[in-house]
Amino acid sequence: MSSAPDTGLHVAVLGAGAWGTALASAACAHASTMLWARDPVLAERLRTEHVNTRYLPGVPLPDALRFTASLPQAIEHVTAGSVPGLIILGVPIAGLRRACQDVATQLTRIGRPAAGLVWTCKGMEADTGLLPSEIAHQALGDHSGLATGVLSGPSFAKEVACGLPVALTVASQDEALRIATIQALHGGAMRVYASTDVVGVEVGGALKNIIATACGIADGLELGTNARAALITRGLAEMSRFGEALGAMPATFSGLTGLGDLVLTATGELSRNRQVGVEIGRGRSLPAILAGGLTAEGARCARAVLKRAQALGVDLPITQAVCEVLYGGVAPKDAVTRLLARVATTE
């Protein structure tokens, strides 16, 4: 069995879904890496088979990658290197609060520092409308001084796991955390760029899923590629307005975590958010789609985004139309008609 390079950096990826597994596989090339799975059965299958048949079937995992169902063991692994290690939270936004609380508990127990933690989830908390960084600040409590950041960008987990080219952005106010994340992941087919605009990166991740759902609805209605291009472009304008109202840097939305991720999610065949929209456009109901196992963050966070935007006085017509279709009983064709009937404005 091959071993990870001795860089002194230890990485723990918490969450053995498709994206967590893909990132753990990439980190193995640069650091001693352990992947934590909440389900002990899954962890044991990963250890014995070195394939995540549940989330990435047919994709072999690196021999050097280690697995555990013990969160204390995963955090101990991070703090056992010769330099402060990196925790990557590969959990959905619904699990972020609990994950941060659990990490804080373990770091207190161990009493040794980590370089910090980065999360990969996209969206806003459904009941509070908070961004991931706001959730983490609340959940970490006495560890609010722990360096934190977000890792995002146009990426499908399966392509990353297969070693295909990808470019991501790590955003954090802490330079050491940005450096540690780049050290853990940058190289080979993966490029990682640094940013300080945490809010901008998170807003891009939330809004692009909603706009992708809108594009899927248009595709399901067979409205053509002109309509899709219009939705992407005007969706980018919504993303920018909302982000700037929250203090984001305008330039962020023309980069990987804005335009880049939006184009991928709105057009890619592997996009779950787009696929939910396609099914809606073809006449299926959201409950029926979700019951069939197809989930997407755009549908989960659309109402939270719209509510927060309204509180800020920010107009998000596409997001509002998606909410009306998903939750207001408005037929997709009627929502499109309403969008087309809006008064013309300057771009």
With a pLDDT cut of 90, the percent of the chain lying above it is 84
Q: Which of 80-94, 100-114, 184-198, 300-314 has the lowest mean pLDDT?
A: 100-114
Mean local confidence (pLDDT), 329-346: 86
DSSP assigned state of 295: -
pTM listed for this prediction: 0.94
| 291, pLDDT greater than 90 | no
Of 114-123, 215-224, 293-302, minimum mean pLDDT range: 293-302
pLDDT given for residue 7 in this prediction: 75
pLDDT digits (tens, 9 = 90+) for 159-168: 999 999 999 9
Reply yes or no on whether 208 is catalytic.
yes
Query: What six digits make up the tokens of 298?
Result: 């755009």
For residue 47, give both structure tokens.
């250890």
Question: Does residue 294 or residue 273 have the better pLDDT?
Answer: 273
What CATH superfamily classification does 10-196 receive? Answer: NAD(P)-binding Rossmann-like Domain (3.40.50.720)
Q: Is the pLDDT of residue 218 over 90?
A: yes
Could you give the CA distance from residue 19 to residue 41 in angstroms, rounded to a whole number? 19
| pLDDT tens digits along 93-118 | 999 999 999 999 998 888 777 779 99
Q: Is 207-340 the same fold as 10-196?
A: no
Catalytic residue, from 158, 208, 307, 333: name it. 208
Sequence spans of domains, the chain: 10-196, 207-340
- Is the CB of residue 211 less than 8 Å from the CB of residue 318? yes
Instruction: Give the separation between CA 89 and CA 74, rounded to whole angstroms.
Output: 12
Domain 207-340 CATH assignment equals 3.30.530.20: no
Confidence of residue 297 (pLDDT cuts 50, 70, 90): confident
Query: In this predicted structure, what is the pLDDT of residue 115?
Result: 76
